[in-house]
Amino acid sequence: MTDSDPRFALAVALAREGGALAARMYADLGRITAKTAIDFCTAADLAVESHIRTRVTATFADAMIGEEGGGSADTDHVWVVDPIDGTAGYIHGTTRWCVSIAVMRAGIVECGAIYAPRDDRLFTARRGGGAFLNGRPIGVSHLGHGAAPIVELGWSARRPLSAYCDLLHRLTAAEIEFRRHGSGALGLAEVACGLNDGYAELHINAWDALAGILLVEEAGGRCNDFLADNGLTQGNRLVAATPEIYDRLYADVRACA
Ligand code: IPD
């Protein structure tokens, strides 16, 4: 897939368009549906996903799996889309939310685009083509900052709270700092550009994770095989990190799962 690949170009355009639409819709949030106590859907989630689905299916005979509308993976190319990742932060008026789009071919993620409109950050990656933030190449930290590693820990009620607390305990005891900002896609993008040294979550869905995983890999980081064991449809555990801490982070996550 090259820079001029039409699917990559459309993914980038739709990440921007979706982000702009959600930002406009924030002025009138409308009805908020609680899927769980900490998992929400707004009118903007639905409108952005619908916009992306309409544009993708009008342009290509490709399947799409979206967080809100679901879908199947029954074509060679499959789009995997989170219209707003970090919906709770979106509702609260933070900058920590984004549109995340991954395009797969034959079961492999070929390109991804993550756009955070509030601070105008566009992360893009093509397999074998590197990772970029607003057009500039990015790379993982390699701990070059010389400080204790920072790892973002994602959380959802899909795994027991005790397992999350166990992981938090292990990292803190190992003098690894933790953060949680509420968008898995942005957490991964920030590993790719060295603002975090790792991202871990005991269970996350494919629409939150796939574009960010490609970013981390293309930026020189390591990730577990998220798509193993039906990760595309069922979600999976996720560990993504600068190579220097990947093995120990993975071991801690495995121990808590
Ligand atoms: C959630 C965020 C969060 C992660 C959860 C996701 P949503 O996605 O990515 O950071 O920890 O696992 O469900 O609901 O904001 O799209």
CA-nearest residue for atom 14, ligand 1, is 39
Q: What is the predicted pLDDT for the residue at 46?
A: 95
Residues 133 and 158 in one domain: no
The half-sphere exposure of 207 on its side-chain side, counting CA atoms within 13 A, is 23
CA 240 to chain centre: 11
Q: What is the predicted pLDDT for the residue at 4?
A: 82
165 pLDDT above the threshold of 80:
yes
Whole-number percent of the chain with pLDDT over 90: 89
85: confidence class by pLDDT, cuts 50, 70, 90: very high
The half-sphere exposure of 157 on its side-chain side, counting CA atoms within 13 A, is 6
Vertex 126, ends 222 and 1: CA angle to 5°?
135
Q: What is the predicted pLDDT for the residue at 35?
A: 74
CA 41 to chain centre: 17
Residue 241 lies in a domain: yes
Could you tell me the distance, in angstroms and rounded to a whole number, from the CA of residue 184 to the centre of ligand 1? Answer: 6
Which of 90, 115, 137 terminates a domain? The answer is: 137
CATH number of the domain that residue 176 is part of = 3.40.190.80
Q: How far is CA 5 from CA 106, 110, 129, 178, in A?
A: 16, 11, 12, 38
Could you tell me the distance, in angstroms and rounded to a whole number, from the CA of residue 85 to the centre of ligand 1? Answer: 6
Q: What is the predicted pLDDT for the residue at 138?
A: 98
Could you tell me the distance, in angstroms and rounded to a whole number, from the CA of residue 84 to the centre of ligand 1? Answer: 9
The string of pLDDT tens digits covering residues 185-195 is 999 999 999 99
Residues 122 and 210 in one domain: no
Residues 130 and 178 in one domain: no
Residue 143 lies in a domain: no
Atom of ligand 1 nearest to the CA of 201: 11
Residue 145 lies in a domain: no
Residues 177 and 233 in one domain: yes
Q: What is the predicted pLDDT for the residue at 39?
A: 78
Could you tell me the distance, in angstroms and rounded to a whole number, from the CA of residue 68 to the centre of ligand 1? Answer: 13
Which of 80, 114, 137 terminates a domain? The answer is: 137
Range of the domain at 177: 150-256
Cα separation, 154 vs 179, in Å, equals 9
Residues 195 and 248 in one domain: yes
Residue 97 lies in a domain: yes
Q: Which amino acid is at 77?
A: H
Residues 168 and 68 in one domain: no
Which of 137, 172, 205 terminates a domain? The answer is: 137
What pTM was estimated for this model as a whole?
0.96
CATH number of the domain that residue 53 is part of = 3.30.540.10
